[in-house]
Chain A
Amino acid sequence: MTIDMKEVRRVFKRSTNGKMRHQHPLSNVLVTSWLVLFAVVSLIPMIWLVLAPSKTDGELTYRSPFAFGSLKGYLNAWKHLQFFDDGVIAKWLINSLWYTATIVIIATITASLAGFVISASDIRFKKTFLISTLIMMLVPPVALVIPLFVEMDKVNLVDNPWSVILISSLYPFGAFLAYIYYTTSIPPELYESARLDGCNDFKLYTKIALPLSTPLISLLAFFAFIGNWANYFMPYVMLPSSENYTLPLGLGFLFMSTPAINPGVGATSVPIYKPEIALAGALIAVPIMIMFLISQKRLIRGMLAGSIKE
């Protein structure tokens, strides 16, 4: 991960009124070493994951973990993955993309709206809504599995992607984040003057709050993406048919179906070995890395938003 140092310096400079504190050179060395250590620890598994599919199953055992096999290795691993249930992995990839995209859109819009309403509107029971949001954040999803499954069954949505999309679009953390943002970053006077000019709540949101909340929207979308792209549990419960699986669920399924990782499976005629599993893992991990790299600038802005008063 790289950090936008200009942005950090700008914020740091502002928060210290332009006066940089003098730091001992040793502390700089220690901090840098500490950060380098963490960077290395984080990077090693990622590098291994990207390099592993280039090798054959045998090479993975006897060659160095960071040795590069060949480009053909990636092609072979992909070809073998496609042998699995007539290329169902492509379907899993498409499923992951469209489920996640839909969830990100719905969750971002609803969380932003909810946060705005709790912070800026005049509706009753605002405090109750806020506390409910906090309570929802505290309840672990596992605790809700059976009621949610029964509920989805009642509306005939079991084994239907919309069961996962609708449930996962509930985004209390996002609503709380939006509430914090709208409370701290947009002065209440702005809302008041807009109201005096005749804005209702919806116009207030669309004309005032939304244009000023680009960092928030990026942050909400990013967290929604991370949480749902790699979500295993909800699709596992709601989607019994393999053609509806997402990539993480499919990867878990590959783990279970082949002796590559799970020797207990024993005999198999499916050519899924360690390189294929690594490639499937990379397919899940790489989009998250790319997403993070693309959005880091906006994320830092979003995370720092509201932290200082000018």
Chain B
Amino acid sequence: MKRKYSVMAVATAAVVGGAMVAPMAAQAAIPSITIWVDAPRLPGAKLYAQIMKGKVNVKVELHGQADLLAKVQLFNRVKKGWPDVVFGPPNDVAVLKNPLINNALNLDKLLTPAEVKNFGNGNSWCKSSTGTYCVKNDLAQTVLWYDTKLFKEFGYTVPKTMEEFAAIGADIAKNRPGYSLGAVGDQGFYASFLWPSQCPLNQEKSATRVVINTASPKCTRVAKLLQPLVNSGVLDKRSYFDAGYIKDVGQAGKIVANIGPSWWGEFVLRPAGTFAIPAGRIATAPMPIWAGEKVNYSGEWGGGIYTVSPHSKYPRQALDFAIFMVSDKRNLVTVKNPDGSFGAPTFPAYTPGNALWKAKVSKDTYYASNPFPAMLAQSTKIFPGEKPVRYDSNGAWGAAFAPEILKNGDIQKAVDAYGAYVSNLAQQLGYEVTKS
């Protein structure tokens, strides 16, 4: 009898123990990843964590875009704490892939052929001679934004070349004083004119060589064509975000057209705090082409990226999160944002994703016509020569270009000042600066 009880006790213990061990083992097998995103990506990331419950333990943390590099260097010191996947500004990848920092995994082996195809040309920013170190979240390709009401009133047609764009500017200067084709005192000038013109400013050729050549004809033609417009005030010397420009030009409804990124309509032209242009007036068109070129290239102003940490134990799961953010309808269209809007705020960098996003933006009655076709057309035409660099190429627009253009109003001098500034930064970081 005693033996019988002993056997029963052992059997019971085995069953109970087994039942306890089994879920623990299953739990231990669940991958865990930490995601760092900025505020606009937070609703999507939280949704992803919810969807993956039971399959992947996802910890979502909010971070400021400017923090990442400082934090990664601290984590490198203590050899732990790195997030598995991070959303960040586009230039970060150059620093993160630097062997000294080593926090961007080469994704060549991780990305499937279908994923590579779906990212397409838009992901060329993330590629270097040694591999693919990030995937793009969204594209910020420039297009022509124009006010259909003013175009009709003034009898203008949509410019297809930069010369036609300049001709509209000349007419505004002569016959419509006070009206504007935009502002040049910030990074927008680079994205709208210099980058599409293929002016070599931040063309990283290798980890140790960058081409910066403001004397290139691709740069000087920009200054030559647009200088009269700056002189006449049709292109304002201030920044788009200068309070005076917003009040005197933007909110006064005097912007006839301007070249801006794909997020421009939703986040600059429309909001009450910026230009507050009423509904039914704004439309988009493809980029005007520079003389002698075959492709009407775009530049980019923004366009975030995801990098996966080489320290991640679960790089595929980390990458899956990025793919979810750029392809899943629940994030791109239906997730509710803090401002009451739905879905991803910007043009997804993934082909199936931008097809989903199209449905959302196409039926937006704010626009005079569907803005999507022009955005789509330009999404594959971002000039691929400009590359992420290890120095702060974006901050240099505020530090070197803007003060010069504001002071003297001379485009070429301001571009030269930018070139000299970034050449200095590049050399400090060990780049060899060449002219070609």
Binding site for B on A (CB under 8 A): 56-58, 60-62, 80, 83-85, 88, 146, 149-150, 153, 158, 236-237, 240-242, 252-253, 256-260, 263-274
Contact = CB atoms under 8 A, between A and B. Distances in A.
A78 B339 CA distance: 13
Nearest to B272: A58
9 contacts: A57-B273, A61-B247, A84-B39, A153-B78, A252-B64, A260-B273, A263-B239, A267-B345, A268-B267
A259 B267 contact: yes
Contacts of A84: 39, 338
B81 A270 contact: no
Contacts of B187: 264
B167 to A, nearest CB: 29
Contacts of B81: 153, 158, 240
B261 A266 contact: yes
A94 to B, nearest CB: 17
Interface in B222-257: 239-241, 243, 246-247, 251
A257 B267 contact: no
A269 B341 contact: yes
Contacts of A150: 77-78
Contact of A61 (B42, B251, B394): B251
A260 B71 CA distance: 24
B253 to A, nearest CB: 13
Given A153-B78, A263-B241, A269 B338 contact: yes
B405 to A, nearest CB: 16
Interface residues of B, number: 47
B77 A242 contact: no
B26 interface: no
B39 A85 contact: yes
A131 to B, nearest CB: 30
Contacts of A241: 61
A77 B80 CA distance: 38
Contacts of A263: 186, 239-241
Contact of A58 (B261, B276, B341): B276
B65 A256 contact: yes
B178 interface: no
Interface in B54-86: 61-67, 71, 74, 77-78, 80-81
Contacts of A158: 78, 81
Given A242-B63, A266-B267, 19 more contacts: A58-B276, A61-B251, A85-B42, A146-B77, A153-B78, A153-B80, A158-B81, A237-B74, A240-B63, A240-B71, A242-B61, A259-B241, A264-B302, A264-B394, A266-B302, A267-B345, A268-B267, A270-B339, A273-B273
Contacts of B263: 266-267
Interface of B: 38-40, 42, 61-67, 71, 74, 77-78, 80-81, 89, 138, 140, 186-187, 239-241, 243, 246-247, 251, 261, 263, 266-267, 271-273, 276, 301-302, 337-341, 345-346, 394
Nearest to A242: B62
Contacts of B80: 153
Contacts of B62: 85, 88, 242, 253, 257
A62 B247 contact: yes
A212 to B, nearest CB: 45
Given A84-B338, A242-B62, A268-B39, A61 B239 contact: no
Contacts of B346: 266-267
Given A149-B78, A267-B345, A269-B345, A257 B39 contact: yes
In the A-B complex, the 8 residue pairs with the closest CB atoms: A57-B273, A267-B263, A83-B338, A269-B337, A256-B64, A266-B302, A271-B339, A263-B241
A257 B272 CA distance: 19
B210 to A, nearest CB: 21
A219 B337 CA distance: 46
A83 B276 CA distance: 23
Contact of A57 (B240, B271, B302): B271
Nearest to A60: B273
B432 to A, nearest CB: 28
Given A56-B273, A240-B71, A266 B140 contact: yes
Contacts of A266: 140, 261, 263, 267, 301-302, 346
Contacts of A88: 62
A39 B415 CA distance: 43
A84 B81 CA distance: 25
Given A256-B66, A267-B263, A61 B273 contact: yes
A256 B38 CA distance: 9
Nearest to B240: A263
